[in-house]
Every structure is written in structure tokens, then in C-alpha cells.
Amino acid sequence: MSKQDFLDKLNAYYEAIQEGKKSNWSSLFPIPTSVISFFETELQLTFIEKYEPGNVCFRNDTELRPEFKTVFTATDLIAFFLAQRDDNKQKLDWNHFENTFSETLFWPNVDLGKRFLNPIL
């Protein structure tokens, strides 16, 4: 799956939510490795498949302040993109996104986008 194919699936998921339809977010997986690689490079963080609570050192704690985080998850990526889609009111386009990405907006947008995922998290 290409990066744009992934964003097209996210666009369809977002539109279904806005229309009040139930939509299965498992259709968004797997996230293409090219998307993950882009974020690992831009954020200088490591992608982890699954968050595992109970880490004594707080390294992967979801409540950790963004500047101390060392990892991100699939949920973080999907929430980020959903917030971007909601903010722009236009379908996500990878070429536009790639040229305008700002790492300082990643974690605030993750927090905003999680409202679209709360019913299913």
C-alpha cells in the first residue's frame, strides 16, 4: 500500500465518522512502512507496534510529556492524521502533507485526533 493509499483510507474513515456511520478502524492497518519510516526520521522517535503499560521507567508511558517521549504508536499516527483531516477540512494528500509537516505539531495533533478514536480505544 502506498502512502497516498493509506491517506485515502484515512479520508474515508474520517468521512464515515462525520456522517455518523460506524467504521472499522482495523481497515487502516497495516500502516505502510514508508509512512512509519517518514515519522521515525522526522520525529527522531522509534515506532512500536503495541503500547505495553507497566513500564517502570516511564519510557513508553502515554502520559509522559511529549518532549520526553522516545516512541510513537500506530494509534498516535492515526490520531495525528485524523486531527489533520479535521483541521484542514480537505482530503489528506501525501505530497502536500510531506512538504508542510512540522514535528512541533505532532503531539498536540495526536491529542486532538484521539477524540475520533475514543469510542473504539
Place of cell 501525501: 94
Residue 70 inside a domain? The answer is: yes
Confidence of residue 121 (pLDDT cuts 50, 70, 90): very low
Residue 72 and residue 97: Cα distance in Å, rounded? 19
Residue 59 inside a domain? The answer is: yes
At 22 the pLDDT is: 81
Confidence of residue 21 (pLDDT cuts 50, 70, 90): confident
Residue 95 inside a domain? The answer is: yes
Q: How far is CA 10 from each of CA 3, 57, 64, 94, 105, rounded to the nearest angstrom?
A: 11, 34, 27, 12, 19
Place of cell 472499522: 24
Q: How many domains does the chain contain in total?
A: 1
Burial zone of 7 (CB within 10 Å; 0-12 exposed, 13-18 middle, 19+ buried)? buried
The stretch 89-117 carries a mean pLDDT of 90
Q: Is the pLDDT of residue 3 over 90?
A: yes
How big is the chain by its Cα radius of gyration, in Å?
A: 14
The stretch 67-81 carries a mean pLDDT of 90
At 68 the pLDDT is: 74
Q: How many CB atoms lie within 10 A of CB 50?
A: 7
Residue 121 inside a domain? The answer is: no
Q: Which of 78, 71, 88, 62 is nearest to 116 (CA)?
A: 78
Confidence of residue 32 (pLDDT cuts 50, 70, 90): very high
Residue 87 and residue 105: Cα distance in Å, rounded? 12
pTM of the model: 0.83
At 97 the pLDDT is: 86
Structural domain of 76: 3-116
Q: Is the pLDDT of residue 111 over 80?
A: yes
